Structure 1
Amino acid sequence: MKACYAKFNPHQFLECHTLDAINVLKSLKNSFYWLEELSPGIFELSFYAVLLHDTGKCASGFQKSGLQRERWGYRHELLSVPFVQFLDYGERERNLIALAILTHHKTLDELEEKLPIGDGNLSPEFHEKLEELFDRSEYLEQVFIPRISNMEAYYFGTKRPPKRFKLPADWKEKLRDFDFQALKEWYEENVDNERLTLTFIRGLLNASDHLASAGETSIALLPDINEKLELRIPPEKLRPLQIEASQHAGNLILRAPTGYGKTEAGLLWANKNALRNGKEIASRIFYVLPYKASINAMHKRLMGLFPDPSLVGILHSSAGFYLYTSSLEYERLGSLYRKIYTPLKVTTPFQLMKAFFGVGFHEMLKTELAGSILIFDEIHAYEPNVLGIILAMLEEVAPLKAKTMVMTATLPDFLEDLIKETLPFRELKVPANDANKFTRHRVHVIDGSIDSIEELIPELKLYQKVKKSSRPALIACNSVDRAVATYRVLKEKGFKVLLLHSRFTHGDREEKERTLLERMNDYDFVVATQVVEVSLDVSFSTILTEPAPLDALIQRFGRVNRQGWRNGKIEDVYVLTQGSEADEKIYKDYRVVEESVKILEELDGEELKESLIPELVSRAYSVISKKLTEEVQDYKKLAKDVFNNVKPLKRGEDEEKFYEMFNGVEAVPGIYAGEMLRLLNRGMGIEAHRYLVPVPMWLYWAEKESFHRLSDRGVGKHIIVAELEYSPETGLLREPLTGGDIL
């Protein structure tokens, strides 16, 4: 008798891989029990989908190709599907299981031209491959099938498990006669009514198969959060709103100043609202932040609470490189974080949106979002299109037993109203007297622009402040071009200056951030763009900033005197009245910037009381709140229309649009193109990532002629080269790359 392997190198017998996948499913059944309420019978149906999903791999051609490390060239799922007819179920249940098995690797759209339907060339090929399956019929009949009753007893854990599978004597003939056309028609007729069940059954099968293939036999659960936090903050030291958050069941908005402990409040709320498996937390918790830098920082922070790296995941487009540079098992962990395994994930909202745009294995992510805990931090930072999609997404997951918390220091009234219109939320605010204890800044509005930096430094005595505090001053610019120009002026004047913005390669950015953390006091000035608002946990002596919307300015102020609330210390912060022409492109309705400057002029020379900030931010946005509200509502409606068009088992029609909207472009500077190609050809993709620079779409289109593919074929065809000036000192500039003289 010849063996049937489901996996090769290392080899794994069909029944062994199947049992591993059943183990994963069993852990999902025990932990995600709420799915049974949402879709009764889902875990029984999913068991039989897992049980039969790889039977088609017994075909002799598949076995031979696997042993020789070659592609077989035929979909084994097509041979697995017909086995569902031997299940003691009605048509509905059999078809649900069959569709999950059929699509556990490819979507229905991708399989459309491969289904053996009608009298074309596909049916003879299907029958030819069935004969290859029958070559190993002895293994199926004598090894795999006899084990099914034991697997049923093990999974269901009852004395009388549902013995649904019975192989008839004429099973080979029945496989030949399986009607794929009828299955396809049943899907088209029933997909709308069975949307949730089809989503969960494919999601559970994919989750079980993917984790078993990765060597895991269960999902991870999170220990009780309160017990972990008590080791850091004794219960008697908790602040009033942290205690209230820990006791509130349901959706929550928390307004609190920087330094209050919103993160801890969010975790305590999550602990209260999470669904559990015994003492452990079974709900998946998603901590959502807008920027990669703040996500990386939060991941490090949560790893301090849960040191096991498999418990705290990170999801963003450069997560693999972050894990690699953090000396973590980047390949294994990066793979697990993308699966249903990890209980707490720090992520961008875009990673979650994939589920609703039909991107990738979207059913698996939707299954994970059912019963989940969503914590949105810094929700004010998103553009109206993203806010609209987030709100539409929250409406989608609410009926699936998900709970949401929104945390912010600066939430305009119009945005709060939009959130409350979407879902019922309770709001918690820090009382004014308590909030004012966190006041750290005195505001000064300075007439002029950053072009006068040479005169402003002595006028404002910035250098004296630097020397007195032994900490650099922050010069915050709105654009990369202004930051580079300011950096050059200061450097020419002999100051020690560090430049930080978004257009450095990932490797150079990492090096600059490490330098700032380790040798911050070596510098007189740090010139930075928005990246400094959201990334490093550093504290500057003071700040001189270009004008911006008030909430953005408050974020920038937050990098000055970070711990000042501990001893009541107040530091001066300086806001210029004039920006540059480019600012009107950065802030699409510039009126909010002008209004923000007016508001701060009223406070010129006074302390910026923390209790006033929510009202001041709402005032700043009042000039455009009606327009922004309409924009967010329009995008929300548009998003819901897109979501409704996404069908389970199919790719979203708007998948490409999703990537166009959110992914942007990453390019390798021309000076590193050769090194990039060398690394890619050696299979060192993670090292190659070090040389990529995020490029905003406006720059890509403005300088389109300066961008090209790294190569026409092979690994380089997916990499874009930017033939623009680049140096580790100043980053990628909007200047064509200049070569040496031609001799």
Structure 2
Amino acid sequence: MGNLFLAKSDFNHVTIYQHTVEMLKLFEELKSAFPDILTQKEWEVLRLAIIHHDIGKINATFQNKIYVRLKENISLPDTFDGVFEIPHGYLSTCMIDYERIQKEYGFLPEEILLLAMSIYYHHYRKVNYDDNQLKKTLEENVRPYISEFKREFRIGLISDEPDFEHANTKVNLEYLVKNKNLYNTYVKIKGLLNRIDYSASAGITEIEKSPFDSYNESVDQKVLKKYTANGNSLADVQWYLYKNRDKNIILIASTGIGKTEGALLWIGPQKGFYTLPLRVTINAIYKRIKGSSEKNSLNYSPVAILHSDSFNEYLKENDSYESSIYMESEARLFTAPLTITTVDQLFRFVFRYHGYEMIPATLMYSKVVIDEIQMYSPTIIACILYGLREISRLGGKFLIMTATMPKIFIKILEEKLNMKVSEAFELPQPFLRESNRSDKSKHFVKLHEHELDIEQIEKDSLNHKILVIVNTVTKAQEIYQRLNVENKWLLHSLFTREHRSVLENKILNFSKDENAKGVWVTTQIVEASLDIDFDILHTEMCTVDSLFQRMGRILRGRDRFLSEHTPNIHIYTENVSGLGHVINKEIYEFSLKALRKFLGPSGQQILTEEDKQNIIQNVYDPDLNPQILESKYYREILDYIGYLQSIQNRPYQLEKYETKFRDIISDLIIPKSIYIELDNTGILQQMEEQFQRADSIKKRQILDEILKHTIQVSHFYDRELLSNINNVLLKEAGKRAFADAGIKICDCPYDFNEKEEKGLGLLRKISREEKNKMQTMNSIL
């Protein structure tokens, strides 16, 4: 019966013993890399948890299930004949010889509790079973194989007489939660157990990669080398972050003065996570850190990227599905010394869903950067602020950095989360780009109390690079259609992944071309994502934090080129789109009031960095704007923090998919016209036939090809489209590959000319009244 007891149903026939040995190797690597994150006793509890966590898999039901999947001609006598299975974690806790462990290791009752609880919940399953079912499983599906398993396993302290009644006395979640210090230790041990377990199962051989690259340099050394070459010195903000890398910091600094490199200096050779709001920004920062070809690249190789589409970024690097899957697994299991990621990959842990512990157990010895915190919705801001408090309590460090830090966030940290300035974090004076109104300035603002001026945009586009930013896709499509110029392009979120990638590359190339002329109409997706540099901005009014981000796309790397009498930032206040859903109406009103006050009767003014900070504080500082404390925006953050506080004593009430981190529900859709084209050309049928007989890697490849033709449609922002989405999954039409990706058909027009690389994207179906209104408007124009 050698190698009878398998750990999982892969074709390598990995036994429980082999899997455990691989985990112990990773355990030793982690302990060697970060010896101080646990006490010696806690390390021992973790080691014993690793040894015993899977011993419950020796039961006949579990093993027979694996044999069937592997098509093995083996079958063990099964009391329940495969129709009922108690999760192996529960069985494992009944099979440990606790008395012997307590005697040999001198464990206190609390340490025995930590051991049993970590194992019991390491793969929690909502399975209802009674004592009779558990007793029968232990007696008839487990006990007959214990002696044989112990000979094969060799390393565990396993009881010859598994006893659920005795084991139940070792499992007490309520007691654990009430004892906060003990619970924090449990989170560390169980989280590291899960991470080591998942890493071994994924075939990962390094649980913590070295922070040094092939040149034996860490990321901070790369930055120092870059900035101090040729006798140069660090910028003030970079020097401050470098000197204060042992502290939590909230940093306010102008765009374009080296915050990104400063954050890398703050992280240093320690484990770090750098979060940004948008995937496009993350991709750009990742390439900038890892790459070597561009002027500003650091050539630092041990960096990972992690977001919902990071697999495709890895695929672009090496063109191998096997390697890309492995690299993505490494990223999701936090092996890299530096990971560039989205906040939802980290801060979802505040919901204490099943399996959440792996994240805080890693962040407890990491440094976390939050870039542009003001760009998130109130609920996400609540999760971030609450999560930073928890990370700090566990021993991790955080850096919030932004050009526009709302002062109410400081108030919430201090008053609601008991984190005081100078005690819990540093709040230095803002680092602003030196400028005054007598110098050349990048931004000369003019406020227009009317709609977007199409004629002026057309005129400006003849000699300059013009950026138009509006608040909604529908408005962007409308403005684009009204423009009567040849050199015009449109970019928003309702293009397919493939076409959006084409447009993003095109706008980047357009921006870099010194001789380019024309106009790009976009939505807020370019606010803090693409590293673009235009001459003139025409924008709808929005909240000031977004407004200043939009301004950051103008003269980004250059001094002012226009006459001081000619504004290059045009803001329009009439018929503004998106108020109330895309744009927070209360913050919008506060912003417009503050901007009008600053610009005065003339409605125009050169804007310095200090001016921007003053305007921001006139919106978000409760001392200057007491109304902010009565706003729905502020109350929503507080209410959600209250909700998070209320669930802390009730862990495991939610599954991961139930956590409401992103307050936007969305559908993954394919425009009907594209679906029909793929179907008519036989591509769909070919995909389906390949999918049915493909292995997991090939299936991933097919799904990736399908996803190129899809669009993520938000329920919140794009209500008009919902009535046109076919809610019947495509598997009912025999399209299993589409169904596995959760794709639905959207019966709305889609426009994109691949030859010209431009188009309108996905359009909502308009009513007859709207169509008549548009025709009337066009005839007038």
TM class by shorter-chain length? 0.7 to 0.9
Asked if the contact 2:365–2:395 (Cα under 8 Å) also holds between the matched residues in 1, the reply is: yes
The match for 1:726 is: 750
Partner of 2:486, secondary structure, is coil
CA distance in 2, matches of 1:307, 1:632: 42
1:166–1:438 Cα change, 3 Å: farther
2:246 is the counterpart of 1:245:
no
Task: Report if the CA contact (8 A) 2:457-2:466 is conserved.
Answer: no
Which residue number corresponds to residue 775 of structure 2? none
Report if the CA contact (8 A) 1:251-1:405 is conserved. yes
**Pair 442,346 (structure 1): closer, same or farther in 2 beyond 3 Å:** same
Confirm or deny that 1:83 pairs with 2:95: yes
Deviations, residues 149-190 of structure 1 (Å, cap 9, x unaligned): xxxxxxxxxxxxxxxx655xxx43x12566454345x33444
Superimposed CA distance per residue, residues 271-324 of structure 1 (whole angstroms, 9 cap, x where no aligned partner): 2xxxxxxxx52xx32212222222222222222367566x32333333334433
Amino acid aligned to 1:613: K
Q: Which residue in the other structure is 2:482 paired with? A: 489
Q: State how far apart, in whole Å, the 2-side matches of 1:619 and 1:348 are.
A: 30
Aligned residues: 682
Structure 2 portions without partners, runs of 5+: 72-81, 103-107, 213-217, 292-296, 692-698, 753-758, 769-781
Paired with 2:142 and 2:168, the residues of 1 have a C-alpha distance of 18
Letter in 1 for 2:193: L
Aligned residue for 2:543?
Answer: 549
- What CA distance in whole angstroms lies between the structure 2 residues aligned with 1:660 and 1:476? 24
Give yes or no for the alignment of 1:390 onto 2:359.
no
* 1:473 lines up with 2:466 in the alignment: yes
Give the 5 Å matches for 1:28-427.
28-36=30-38, 41-59=41-59, 62-63=62-63, 65-69=65-69, 74=85, 75-86=87-98, 87-89=100-102, 91-107=109-125, 110-111=126-127, 113-114=128-129, 117-119=130-132, 121-131=133-143, 133-134=145-146, 137-141=147-151, 143-145=152-154, 148=155, 166=157, 171-172=159-160, 174-175=161-162, 179-184=166-171, 186-193=172-179, 194-217=182-205, 218-223=207-212, 224-234=218-228, 236-248=232-244, 249-271=246-268, 280-281=269-270, 284-304=271-291, 311-325=302-316, 327=318, 329-359=323-353, 361-419=355-413, 421=415, 422=417, 423=419, 424=421, 425-427=425-427
Q: Is the 8 A contact 2:443 2:569 kept in 1?
A: no
Task: Give the TM-score normalised by structure 2.
Answer: 0.79
Mapped partners of 2:572, 2:109: distance in 1:
71
> Which residue number in structure 2 is paired with residue 160 of structure 1?
none
> 1:127, 1:176 within 8 Å by CA — same for their partners in 2?
no
Which structure is richer in relative contact order (CA contacts within 8 A, separation 6 or more)? 1
SS in 1 for 2:538: strand
Q: Which structure carries more helix by proportion?
A: 1
Please give the TM-score of this superposition, normalised by the length of structure 1. 0.83
Flag the 1:595–1:666 CA change in 2: closer, same or farther, 3 A: farther
Counterpart amino acid of residue 538 in structure 1: I
Quote the offset at 1:629 in angstroms: 7.2
Deviation at 1:374, TM superposition (A): 1.7
The Cα shift of 1:16 comes to 2.6
CA shift for structure 1 position 58? 4.0
The answer to whether the Cα contact below 8 Å between 1:258 and 1:409 also exists between their aligned partners in 2 is yes
1:262 deviates by: 0.6
Asked whether 1:709 is paired with 2:728, we answer: yes
Distance 2:562 2:251 in 1: 24
Q: 1:525 to 1:600 in 2, by over 3 A?
A: farther
When residues 637 and 26 of structure 1 are mapped into structure 2, their CA distance, relative to the original with a 3 A threshold, is farther
Measured after TM superposition, the shift of residue 568 of structure 1 is 11
Q: What SS does the aligned partner of 2:716 have?
A: helix
> Does structure 2 conserve the Cα–Cα contact (< 8 Å) formed by 1:667 and 1:722?
yes
SS of residue paired to 1:730: strand
Instruction: Check whether the contact 2:353–2:659 (CA below 8 A) recurs between aligned residues.
Output: no
- Bigger Cα displacement from structure 2, 430-439 vs 361-370: 430-439
What displacement does 1:359 show? 3.7
Q: Cα distance, 1:325 vs. partner? A: 4.4
Which residue does 2:575 correspond to in 1? 580
- The AA in structure 2 aligned to 1:198 is Y
Deviation at 1:440, TM superposition (A): 1.7
Q: Distance in 1 between matches of 2:720 and 2:60?
A: 56
Question: What is the CA distance between 1:230 and its match in structure 2?
Answer: 2.3
Structure 1 letter corresponding to 2:570: V
Stretch moving more, 420-429 or 511-520 = 420-429
Deviations 1:495-523 (A, max 9, x none): 22110011112221111111222355566
Give unmatched runs, 5+ long, in structure 1.
Answer: 149-164, 272-279, 467-471, 739-743
Q: Tell me the amino acid that sits aligned with residue 584 of structure 1.
A: L
Q: For residue 507 of structure 2, what is the amino acid of its counterpart?
A: L
Q: Is contact 1:286-1:344 (8 Å) kept? A: yes
Question: Which amino acid in the other structure matches residue 13 of structure 2?
Answer: H
Secondary structure of the residue aligned to 1:448 is coil
From the superposition, tell whether residues 656 and 552 of structure 1 become closer, same or farther in structure 2 (CA, over 3 Å): same
